[in-house]
Amino acid sequence: MKTAQTIAEVRQIVSDARTDGATVGFAPTMGGLHEGHLSLIDAARGECDFVVVSIFVNPTQFAPGEDLSTYPRSIETDLAACEARGADLVFIPSVETMYPRQAVTSVTVSQLTETLCGRNRPTHFGGVCTVVAKLFNIVLPDKAFFGRKDYQQLVIVARMVEDLDIPVEIVPCAIIRETDGLAMSTRNQRLSPVNRSQAVALHEALQSAGDQIREFHRPARDIITAMQEYIQANAPNGEIDYIQIIDPQTLQDVETTDRSLLIALAVKFPEARLIDNMLLDSAGQPQ
């Protein structure tokens, strides 16, 4: 496995791989790698000849007062994990490499960015789209692998690629969970033991919402109210940011539940804001 810190090195290594006819798969990450990230590498390994991972805590997707300075960083163990899972190249740029000067160009995706996480994080997806577009231009992958854990990000990046004719296929990957159901996240490690055990209520609320939809197709409003009550009772240290039931493509709220939909939530614990979601088909079966 190679590592590269500069854009020129990445371009050279990827172009050398391509001269042998290799297809290139790419998994962008912010490090603090766990099985969720590593499942993206596995998927890329399964579908592409040459696998690139990036590890970059992108400052432009954090607003002032968010957790940029305390975001968990573990580069040595991350590199070992990438190597063990068969990555070919890990790109670890510095902030100066990615942003050598104050940029005057950025990528803005409208509408899809204005709901869910975008409501309380209005600058977040602009930062994400701009850095992902830059990384695509640096790595030039055939396929890029994104987790459904960050469902809104996945939809936004896929739309950006379509609208800007970026020649990459976006491959969605399943949410990887801890044994008690909590969606894996780099930020989970910051939770106190009490809040870590309360956090399991997020997935439990999603599961029971799924059950209610499958069996009774209760209206979205009722499901959301039941989820709010469950989380308030079982995760009292968490403050609900949002719980929404939406169309999986447009991300617009839906009222009825006899259709394919996404239940998405964000809950803020004192140490970390957690997100999770569940995608259901029109029969209420998890996807």
251-272 residues labelled b (16+ CB within 10 A) or e (exposed)? beebeebebbbbbbbbbebebb
Q: Which stretch binds ligand AMP (CB under 6 A): 32-40, 103-111, 195-203, 221-229?
A: 32-40
Q: What minimum distance in Å lies between the beta carbon of 239 and ligand AMP?
A: 21
Give the list of residues 6+ apart from residue 169 with CB closer than 8 angstroms, or none: 142, 143, 144
37 binds ligand AMP (CB under 6 A): yes
d(CA 127, CA 145): 18
Pick 36 or 238: Cβ nearer ligand AMP: 36
243 binds ligand AMP (CB under 6 A): no
Place of tokens 């447009």: 250
In the range 178-207, which residues lie near ligand AMP by CB under 6 A? 183-186
Judged by CB under 6 A, the number of residues near ligand AMP is 17
Q: Can you read off the two tokens belonging to residue 128? A: 């994400």
155 binds ligand AMP (CB under 6 A): no
Q: Which stretch binds ligand AMP (CB under 6 A): 30-38, 160-168, 190-198, 263-271?
A: 30-38
Q: What minimum distance in Å lies between the beta carbon of 221 and ligand AMP?
A: 28
> Of 34, 37, 124, 203, which residue is the catalytic one?
37
Give the list of residues 6+ apart from residue 246 with CB closer than 8 angstroms, or none: 115, 116, 252, 253, 254, 261, 262, 264
d(CA 287, CA 285): 6
54 binds ligand AMP (CB under 6 A): no
Coil vs helix vs strand at 273: strand
The binder of ligand AMP chosen from 26, 125, 146, 269 (CB under 6 A): 146
176 binds ligand AMP (CB under 6 A): yes
Q: Where are the beta strands (DSSP E) in the chain?
A: 2-4, 24-29, 50-55, 89-91, 143-147, 169-173, 239-246, 261-268, 273-280
277 binds ligand AMP (CB under 6 A): no
Pick 155 or 223: Cβ nearer ligand AMP: 155
d(CA 196, CA 182): 9
37 given a catalytic annotation: yes
Q: What minimum distance in Å lies between the beta carbon of 251 and ligand AMP?
A: 16
Q: Which stretch binds ligand AMP (CB under 6 A): 104-112, 132-140, 146-154, 160-168?
A: 146-154
Cα atoms found within 13 Å of the Cα of residue 62, Cβ hemisphere only: 14
Pick 50 or 56: Cβ nearer ligand AMP: 56
Active site residue ranges = 37
